[in-house]
Amino acid sequence: MGEKSYGTAAILFGVISAIVLLVVVGSTAQPGEFSLISPENCENLSDNTPTFVWEAAAGADNYGIWIDDDPDFSSPVYENDNLGNTTSFTLPDENALADGVYYWRVRAENADGYTWSSENRTFRVDTVPPAKPTHNGTAPGWIKDGENTNDNTPVLGVYTVTENSFPVVYHFAVSDDPSFPY
C-alpha cells in the first residue's frame, strides 16, 4: 500500500498525518516606541489649527491622532486613526480649536497591533493677544506717560494684565527721542 502526498498532508493507511508549515510574511511585531516632537509640552499657541509632529515608529504603516480637552481622552474634540504613513498632521480649518487647554497623543499601527506615543502632551490655544498693560504712576519712582525725569534708574512697571496664557512678556523701550528711532 503506497503513500500519496497532497500538498502538506499525507495519507498513510487511512490515517491522516499533518505537516504544518508556518510562513511568516512581513512584520511580526507591533510598531516600535516613538516620541512626540511638537507642539512642545505646555506650549502656548496662537494658531488654532496647529501642526503636530512626531518621530517615526519602526514598523509602522499608519498613524492616528487624538486631541482632547480632557487628559483622559474620553471625548476627543478631534480624532483621526487613518493618517497614513506620515509623521506630521495639520488640523483642518473646519476643526479649528477654541481657545483653551488641550491634550494630544499619537498611535502608530501595523497589521500586528499598535503602540501609543511615549507620552501625552498638553498645549494651550490662545488666539487673543494680551491687553495693553496700564499703570497709574502712583508707586514711588514711577514715571507717568510723557513725563521727563533726571533719574538715571527710573522704575518701569506695569500692572498685571488679565490673560489666558502665561507668561506674559513685557518689552520696554526707552529713548530720548519720542519717535523711538533706535
- For the chain, domains (ranges, CATH) are 36-125 (2.60.40.1220), 129-182 (no CATH)
At 53, is the pLDDT very low, low, confident or very high (cuts 50, 70, 90)? very high
- Reading the block at residue 111, the C-alpha cell is 497589521
- The pTM assigned to this predicted structure is 0.67
Residues 31-49: tens digit of each pLDDT: 999 999 999 999 999 999 9
Nearest Cα to Cα of residue 62 among 93, 38, 91, 30: 30
Length of the chain: 182
Task: Please answer whether residues 29 and 53 qualify as being in contact, where contact means their C-beta atoms are separated by less than 8 angstroms.
Answer: no
Residues 103-149: tens digit of each pLDDT: 999 999 999 999 999 999 999 999 988 777 766 556 666 666 677 77
